[in-house]
Amino acid sequence: MKKILVLGATSGIAQACVRLYAARGASLYLVARNAQNLQAVAQDAATRGAARAEAEALDLDDFEAHGPLVARAEAALGGLDGVLLAHGVLGDQAACERDFAPTRAVLTTNLLGPVSLLTHLANRFEAQRKGTLVVISSVAGDRGRQSNYVYGTSKGGLSVFLQGLRNRLSRSGVAVVTVKPGFVDTPMTAGVKKNALFATPEQVARGIVKAAERGSDVVYLPGFWRLIMFVIRCVPERLFKRLKL
């Protein structure tokens, strides 16, 4: 990928990816809500060798803005051959259990927003018959757990959408890469107690870049999460509902 739109560019994982792509001389169109943080990411990318590092501050929960945003990114970079969608929030499970409003906010940011963006992007990539869409989902979407089932629902729905999109776009030469990280030590998980299962953003970023190059379908990062989630999915529901996960 050489002309890349990065959505949610100030997230820990996205920043690590931006550094890798910048060092390869890619042209980048970076989008996030916080203008000050976004500008810092763009400046860092420029110093690391990016051919171009454009920045646009935008609330990606504004669905009406998605179509014009994609058009501006294409115009600025002279086309797009790659997208990294890293936009998302963890949410507050306890708050979601008390009230629907925070649940709706999580589903809007993590599921409906990406579906809107990917609808615009898929149609453009399908028409040009090339490109790679890389989307960060989560292992949390593989099975609902009491500790984070609202977040898991948003990521599970996103993973199914990507599965269908991949099935549709494969005939057009467009790759759709579903990335399923496990625990990652980023500001999003600042309040979570760390353990040996946590990976660094840099580890996950290297896996994302490699998966994009290969045009992988689904990648777990780090790779041991594929086995962990296989085991978790195999636990019978009668037993699973007794576990405190």
For the question of residue 29 being annotated catalytic, the response is no
Cβ neighbour number for residue 223 with a 10 Å cutoff: 10
Cβ neighbour number for residue 75 with a 10 Å cutoff: 10
- Candidate list 21, 29, 149, 151, residue with the active-site label: 151
The C-alpha atoms of residue 22 and residue 24 are separated, in whole angstroms, by 5
Residues ≥6 apart with Cβ < 8 Å to 126: 168, 169, 172, 174
For residue 31, list its beta bridge partners: 7, 56
Please give the order of strands across the beta sheet that includes 3-7. Answer: 52-57, 27-32, 3-7, 82-85, 131-136, 174-181, 218-221
Residues involved in catalysis: 151
